[in-house]
């Protein structure tokens, strides 16, 4: 199929999705796209700015002809009724619902497949949201909040996400509820692609032929702005082979139908969605909700429903191209040198016709450069969309009733034969709910041969951010609907501040005492150590060196202990509900709190002996005098470095993703990169001190737009805003975010979804796109932000990647590499740095990997420090454990010390040399441990 034919087919399908119908010509063209107009002037897609959503229609049932699934007109419950436009892989030989018509399968389940719901997380610093995982044998669903830390919780619990086909987000669409969606989707995409390629290779080996396997699909359901949230990430998230569909539930569109049909269903579940708006938005009856049609069009007029449909379609198209485009990395396109934008890799053909990298000057460098023809890669499609349609925050909270399909009664084969029904197709006809007529004209009905069925088991999940949502929820008619409530065994409550104590809610629970009620809230759930592996490691490090390795702040007791006669139970990780074959609550799978005493008891005596020796060494008078002499010229020796996340790419079992906090007394606090759940790491390190730490935060530096370096930024800004906006001393403060312009664009676009404090951010766009590589602070700003200068340079890693140097008025100088290959330019920029923080992703034996993935090895990072003449070197961003930690001897009368970073580590500049003394103990500690 040609690209023009495929584009035409996509265009017609999208048109049908909006119109609800398709003309005869359109149907013919869709079924035979190769007969599309040869005249490209008639191609209605050629002027498209945004590629359209690709809806595949290649499902075939027995004896069927190709058909394309179209949404039913006027029956869309949201901007994208997912259940009407795709069928999951496991339904290949089962029923297809096509344009409202059923084929040969009933949603009555013939077998009682085991269905289990389990708490994956409850509110803690590690896992700020409440997440449930619903298991079937061949599919999984994530339900609740997918907050930062969700994917790390799954790693800790050893729960693979590759089978997740649907995500049902509860509550509002904001960072607190959905801040982990992007990282989780990336994890699912990578796991799915790996699984598919592994299966493909296995089949190739067995059958001797290569065969493209069907793609995994992912549906994400939630409230208004879900699609917009995902689309804001188009500049830094891109995967191929994971088609994603979003379904947004909006106020007014969730009105119960007379027959109580579910809002959404697949062959496993039926789902009724509820959109709960706070009381202040539901006082006056109206046809449209508070957040419907609030965005204005370019001419200043209020947006119409048609405008909103077009905007929704544009957002969905962007998301489609983020996860299922046909973009290829090896495709090069011709451009004039003057037309090249940004800082991409540029290639030319040499005299022999071979492609080589362009290394000559660029036009913007101020030299006369011939405007030759060059070759460049086009950015992936989503990144080419410069802006999204406007939107506004939504206060609506999404809740769900989720049930299994009814269980069919047992088929009485003997009874059917006694009635004269011949075994074979007649039996199947009756099991499908269809009557069978005997040869003598007698009609045998299904109820004569099938025992009464059982309503499917299910649960409700309700999120109330505050008390203003309570009355609108209690007034919902679903609670009195037999069709909805039959089979519901438990209600899971995700509650905001003050809600659980409200007498109206507790009376409601008591009046519905046939249901189990389970509450997940910061007020009843303790801030326990939800990630046992990194917590255990932190305790072992604390035993080794308590001055630099704190125990993560936590508590196993709840803030508000419920009354003895409270009508609810408290949510715990691992608490399990069996929905089928019969409802049952299992508490034996609850994950117990980490036994810290046992971790201490199991500590290695050999490690302890080496640690004692190191502590004795660094406390001797001779050692301290020598250290003081060597460090007398170092400024800000009391500055402290806190390594919050020291891993690479993905949050792992032992290391979180990149984030390093620098605290400089008298100047302020500075954050270098801000990976997912950096805020949680800050909470574990500082506990009750966190408000003061954030009030002193002056600058966030983001080195590049890879997700593991910045997906925690929004939550940190929001927390900073909350702690400073109401204080007379700090309410006028600004927070600098210095990074490339694309990062600034993402923060600005996301601010349309949630007011997280963006108006108080002072952006400093840096890099080649902005033309700013040095930013000098005047005296007033120097006093406000504590810096005299920020200097950056481009480095080899990805488009826009930068290394940076922060200079302070007293001569203190910190260089931070971000992710990169070794850079001579960076070494020159950071000449004489007090501290170099450099990535060391790979050990020296894996230099080939470092070259291929544009990272540095241990020795390469240290060599940059040598060239820079940095006084202290901190290595971070690891992909594996490090057993060989080089020690650098005194040079030119000065000492130069290298240490390795660990999550939660706190070390003052003047004490970095002391950490080096613990190297033998650290090596022994990790001798038997492999991350």
Q: pLDDT digits over 570-594, tens only?
A: 999 999 999 988 889 999 999 999 9
- Altogether, the residues listed in the chain come to a count of 931
Please tell me the distance from the alpha carbon of residue 908 to that of residue 901, in angstroms, as a whole number: 13
Read off the DSSP letter of residue 234.
G
Is the Cβ–Cβ distance between 126 and 680 less than 8 Å? yes
Is the Cβ–Cβ distance between 785 and 738 less than 8 Å? no
* Phi and psi, residue 577, nearest 5°: -120, 120
pLDDT attached to residue 457 = 93
Strand order in the sheet with 115-121: 244-248, 218-222, 164-169, 140-144, 131-135, 115-121, 576-580, 584-586
Of 64, 72, 53, 40, the C-alpha closest to 9 is 53
Please tell me the distance from the alpha carbon of residue 599 to that of residue 812, in angstroms, as a whole number: 39
* Per-residue confidence band for 931, with pLDDT thresholds at 50, 70 and 90: very low
* Per-residue confidence band for 466, with pLDDT thresholds at 50, 70 and 90: very high
pLDDT attached to residue 518 = 97
Is the Cβ–Cβ distance between 311 and 297 less than 8 Å? no
More confident: 410 or 490: 490
Question: Is the confidence at residue 875, as pLDDT, over 60?
Answer: yes
> What pTM was estimated for this model as a whole?
0.84
pLDDT attached to residue 294 = 42
The residue with tokens 């007698």 is 442
Of 629, 145, 631, the C-alpha closest to 400 is 145
Is the Cβ–Cβ distance between 367 and 361 less than 8 Å? yes
More confident: 364 or 784: 784
* Phi and psi, residue 223, nearest 5°: -90, -175
Measured CA to CA in angstroms, residue 449 lies from 121, 285, 433 at distances of: 45, 50, 10
* Phi and psi, residue 52, nearest 5°: -85, 165
Q: pLDDT digits over 908-928, tens only?
A: 999 999 998 999 999 898 875
Q: 604 is written with which tokens?
A: 């290695």
Please tell me the distance from the alpha carbon of residue 168 to that of residue 246, in angstroms, as a whole number: 10
Indicate the SS3 state at residue 506. helix
Of 391, 911, 318, the C-alpha closest to 640 is 911
More confident: 369 or 26: 369
Q: Which of 329-343, 348-362, 385-399 comes out lowest in average pLDDT? A: 329-343
Please tell me the distance from the alpha carbon of residue 69 to that of residue 455, in angstroms, as a whole number: 29
Q: pLDDT digits over 618-654, tens only?
A: 999 999 999 999 999 999 999 999 999 999 888 888 8
pLDDT attached to residue 190 = 86
Question: Is the confidence at residue 21, as pLDDT, over 50?
Answer: no
Chain mean pLDDT for the chain:
83
Which residue intervals of 713-760 are DSSP H helices? 713-724, 741-750
Question: Is the confidence at residue 79, as pLDDT, over 60?
Answer: no
Instruction: List, in sequence order, every residue forming a beta bridge with 671; answer none if it has no partner.
Output: 661, 700
More confident: 82 or 649: 649
* Per-residue confidence band for 432, with pLDDT thresholds at 50, 70 and 90: confident
pLDDT attached to residue 44 = 32
Please tell me the distance from the alpha carbon of residue 621 to that of residue 916, in angstroms, as a whole number: 18
b (16+ CB within 10 A) / e for 28-52: ebbeebeebeeeeeebebeeeebbb
Question: Is the confidence at residue 353, as pLDDT, over 90?
Answer: no
Please tell me the distance from the alpha carbon of residue 719 to that of residue 707, in angstroms, as a whole number: 20
Q: Taking the mean position of all CA atoms in its chain, how far away is CA 849?
A: 26
b (16+ CB within 10 A) / e for 72-93: eeeebbbbbbbbbbbbbeebee
* Per-residue confidence band for 145, with pLDDT thresholds at 50, 70 and 90: very high
Question: Is the confidence at residue 880, as pLDDT, over 50?
Answer: yes
* Beta strand pairing call for 218-222 and 346-349: unpaired
Question: Is the confidence at residue 290, as pLDDT, over 60?
Answer: no
Is the Cβ–Cβ distance between 821 and 798 less than 8 Å? no
Ranges assigned E (strand) in 423-476? 436-437, 443-444, 458-464
Question: Is the confidence at residue 287, as pLDDT, over 70?
Answer: no
Question: Is the confidence at residue 782, as pLDDT, over 70?
Answer: yes
Q: pLDDT digits over 201-242, tens only?
A: 888 778 777 777 777 889 999 999 999 999 999 999 988 888
Question: Is the confidence at residue 284, as pLDDT, over 70?
Answer: no
Question: Is the confidence at residue 78, as pLDDT, over 70?
Answer: no
pLDDT attached to residue 28 = 43
Q: Which of 109-118, 257-266, 296-305, 603-612 comes out lowest in average pLDDT? A: 296-305
Task: Please name the residues in contact with 736: beta carbons below 8 A apart, sequence gap of 6 or more.
Answer: 698, 699, 700, 761, 762, 763, 764, 785
- Return the sign of the alpha-carbon dihedral for residues 150, 155, 156, 159: positive
b (16+ CB within 10 A) / e for 408-431: bbebeeeebeeeebeeeebbebbb
Instruction: List, in sequence order, every residue forming a beta bridge with 131; answer none if it has no partner.
Output: 121, 144
Please tell me the distance from the alpha carbon of residue 297 to that of residue 437, in angstroms, as a whole number: 62
Q: To which H or E segment does residue 347 belong?
A: strand 346-349
Of 702, 699, 690, 642, the C-alpha closest to 835 is 642
Angle, alpha carbons 317-321-326 (nearest 5°): 135
Ranges assigned E (strand) in 208-312? 218-222, 244-248, 264-265, 269-276
pLDDT attached to residue 24 = 42
Q: pLDDT digits over 85-141, tens only?
A: 333 333 333 333 322 323 333 444 444 578 999 999 999 999 999 999 999 988 999
Angle, alpha carbons 95-98-101 (nearest 5°): 80
Strand order in the sheet with 516-520: 264-265, 269-276, 397-404, 458-464, 488-495, 516-520, 569-570
The backbone region for 452, taken as left when phi is positive above 0, alpha when psi lies in -120 to 50, beta otherwise, is beta
**Cβ neighbours of 612 (radius 10 Å):** 12
């Amino acid at each position: 199929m040609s690209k023009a034919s495929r584009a035409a087919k996509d265009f017609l399908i999208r048109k049908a999705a909006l119109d609800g119908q398709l003309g005869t010509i359109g149907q013919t063209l869709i079924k035979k796209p190769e007969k599309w107009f040869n005249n490209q002037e008639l191609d209605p897609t050629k002027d498209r700015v945004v590629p359209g959503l690709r809806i595949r229609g290649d499902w075939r049932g027995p004896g069927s002809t190709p058909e394309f699934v179209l949404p039913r007109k006027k029956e869309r419950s949201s901007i994208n009724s997912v259940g009407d436009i795709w069928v999951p892989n496991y339904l290949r030989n089962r029923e297809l619902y096509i344009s409202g018509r059923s084929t040969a399968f009933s949603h009555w389940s013939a077998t009682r497949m085991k269905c289990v719901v389990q708490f994956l997380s409850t509110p803690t610093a590690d896992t700020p949201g409440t997440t449930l995982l619903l298991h079937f044998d061949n599919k999984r669903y994530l339900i609740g909040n997918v907050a930062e830390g969700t994917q790390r919780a799954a790693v800790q619990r050893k729960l693979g996400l590759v089978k997740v086909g649907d995500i049902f987000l509860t509550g509002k669409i904001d960072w607190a509820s959905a801040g982990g969606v992007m990282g989780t989707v990336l994890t699912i995409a990578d796991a799915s692609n790996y699984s598919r390629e592994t299966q493909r290779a296995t089949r190739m080996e067995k059958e001797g032929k290569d065969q493209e396997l069907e793609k995994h699909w992912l549906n994400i359901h939630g409230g208004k702005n879900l699609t917009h949230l995902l689309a804001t990430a188009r500049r830094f998230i891109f995967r191929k082979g994971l088609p994603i569909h979003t379904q947004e539930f909006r106020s007014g569109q969730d009105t119960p139908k007379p027959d109580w049909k579910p809002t959404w269903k697949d062959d496993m579940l039926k789902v009724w969605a509820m959109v709960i708006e706070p009381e202040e938005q539901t006082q006056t009856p109206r046809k449209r909700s508070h957040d419907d049609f609030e965005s204005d069009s370019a001419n200043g007029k209020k947006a119409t429903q048609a405008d909103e449909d077009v905007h929704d379609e544009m957002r969905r198209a962007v998301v489609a191209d983020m996860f299922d485009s046909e973009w290829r990395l090896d495709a090069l396109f011709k451009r004039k040198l003057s037309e090249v934008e940004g800082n991409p890799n540029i290639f030319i053909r040499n005299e022999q016709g071979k492609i080589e990298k362009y290394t000559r000057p660029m036009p913007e460098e101020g030299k006369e450069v011939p405007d030759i023809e060059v070759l460049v890669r086009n950015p992936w499609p989503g990144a080419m969309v410069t802006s999204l349609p406007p939107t506004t925050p939504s206060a609506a909270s999404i809740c769900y009733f989720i049930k299994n399909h009814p269980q069919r009664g047992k088929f009485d084969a003997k009874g059917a034969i006694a009635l004269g029904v011949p075994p074979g197709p007649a039996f199947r006809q009756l099991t499908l709910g269809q009557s069978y007529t005997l040869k003598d004209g007698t009609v045998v009905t299904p109820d004569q041969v099938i025992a009464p069925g059982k309503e499917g088991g299910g649960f409700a999940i309700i999120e109330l951010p505050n008390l203003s949502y309570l009355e609108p929820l209690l007034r919902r008619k679903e609670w009195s609907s037999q069709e909805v409530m039959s089979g519901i065994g438990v209600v899971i409550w995700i509650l905001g501040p003050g809600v659980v104590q409200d007498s109206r809610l507790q009376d409601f629970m008591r009046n519905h005492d046939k249901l189990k009620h389970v509450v997940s809230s910061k007020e009843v759930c303790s801030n326990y150590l939800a990630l046992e592996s990194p917590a255990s490691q932190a305790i072992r490090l604390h035993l080794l060196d308590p001055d630099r390795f704190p125990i993560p702040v936590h508590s196993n007791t709840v803030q508000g202990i419920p009354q003895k006669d409270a009508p609810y139970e408290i949510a715990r990780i691992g608490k399990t509900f069996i929905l089928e074959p019969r409802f049952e609550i299992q508490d034996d799978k609850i994950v117990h709190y980490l036994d810290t005493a046992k971790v201490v008891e199991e500590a290695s005596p050999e490690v302890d002996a080496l640690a004692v020796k190191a502590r004795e060494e660094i406390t001797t008078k001779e050692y301290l005098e020598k250290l003081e002499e060597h460090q007398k010229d170092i400024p800000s020796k009391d500055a402290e470095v806190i390594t919050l996340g020291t891993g690479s790419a993905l949050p792992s079992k032992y290391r979180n993703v990149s984030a390093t906090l620098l605290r400089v007394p008298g100047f302020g606090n500075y954050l270098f990169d801000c990976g997912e759940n950096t805020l949680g790491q800050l909470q574990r390190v500082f506990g009750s001190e966190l408000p003061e730490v954030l009030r002193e935060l002056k600058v966030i530096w983001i080195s590049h737009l890879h997700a593991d370096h910045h997906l925690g930024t929004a939550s940190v800004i929001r927390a900073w805003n909350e702690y400073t906006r109401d204080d007379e001393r700090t309410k006028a403060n600004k927070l600098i975010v210095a990074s490339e312009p694309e990062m600034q664009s993402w923060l600005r676009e996301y601010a349309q979804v949630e007011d997280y404090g963006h108006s108080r951010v002072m952006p400093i766009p840096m890099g080649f796109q902005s033309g700013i590589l040095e930013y000098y602070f005047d005296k007033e700003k120097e006093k406000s932000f504590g810096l005299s200068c920020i200097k950056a340079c481009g480095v080899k890693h990805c488009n826009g990647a930068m290394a940076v140097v922060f200079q302070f008025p007293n001569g203190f100088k910190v260089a931070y590499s971000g992710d990169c290959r070794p850079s001579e330019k960076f070494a020159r920029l950071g000449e004489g740095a007090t501290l170099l923080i450099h990535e060391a992703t790979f050990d020296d034996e894996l230099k080939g990997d470092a070259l291929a993935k544009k990272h540095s090895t241990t020795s390469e990072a240290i060599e940059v420090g040598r060239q820079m003449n940095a006084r202290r070197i901190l290595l971070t961003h690891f992909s594996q454990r490090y057993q060989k930690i080089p020690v650098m001897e005194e040079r030119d009368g000065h000492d130069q010390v290298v240490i390795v970073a660990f999550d939660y580590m706190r070390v003052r500049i003047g004490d970095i040399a002391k950490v080096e003394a613990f190297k033998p103990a650290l090596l022994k500690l990790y001798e038997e441990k492999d991350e």
